[in-house]
Amino acid sequence: MKNIISCLLIAFTINGFAQENKTKSTSNLENITLGGGCYWCIEAVYENLEGVKSVVSGFSGGKTANPTYEDVCTGTTGHAEVIQITYDKNITDINEIFKVFFTVHDPTTLNRQGADIGTQYRSVIFYKNEEQKKAAQHIINELNKAKVYDSPIVTKIEPLTKFYKAENYHQNYYENNTNQPYCKMVIQPKIEKFEKIFKSKLKKKP
């Protein structure tokens, strides 16, 4: 993989990627649903992004109603592990959300993130409107054109039909289990990478 930091900066500053679109609005909260492997990992990252109000871990994209974590782990329900992010459009925007997304997971591995293998770990963006769909398509096209990754991006772009919240013990998993081996070996490096690249976008510590 190329130098991800410099390549992302180039890719996201061409064709308007760096343009701000934070028009004041009476309805300034928006949400987007993303799947990038284990939801514990990307949940922990986005909880530290300035402008993000909440991150909920759950499941989308499957055929089974009200799936449990155990159901989804079988790989037979069709669901992906996802997070649903609610963010303030006056502070951050969909382009920044996507920049983080394509930095902290590998969008070129099909149905896999590291040792996590299965369709439930697929890279996917579930859009709720045409604006989100077009933004997702544009970013993927630009990243492929700039050859940021050694392989083509396999991230799917699909309409959001239903989001199911995961069990309570999956919420804020990293924060509640920082001493667990998975948190130290898998999640912590993703957080450190995020903090290095987006240090000016981190939430202020109380």
How far apart, in Å, do the first and last CA atoms of the chain sit? Answer: 36
Confidence of residue 150 (pLDDT cuts 50, 70, 90): very high
Digit-coded pLDDT (tens) for 113-129: 999 999 999 999 999 99
pLDDT at 51: 97
pLDDT at 7: 53
pLDDT at 24: 47
CA separation for the pair 140, 11 (Å, rounded) = 10
Under 8 Å between Cβ of 41 and 193:
no
Digit-coded pLDDT (tens) for 159-193: 999 999 999 999 999 999 999 999 999 999 999 99
Question: Minimal CA–CA distance to 173: which of 64, 52, 17, 45?
Answer: 45
Q: Which residues are catalytic?
A: 38
Beta strands 163-165 and 112-113, pairing class? unpaired
| pTM given for the model | 0.88
- Give, to the nearest 10 degrees, the angle between helix 94-104 and helix 188-197: 130
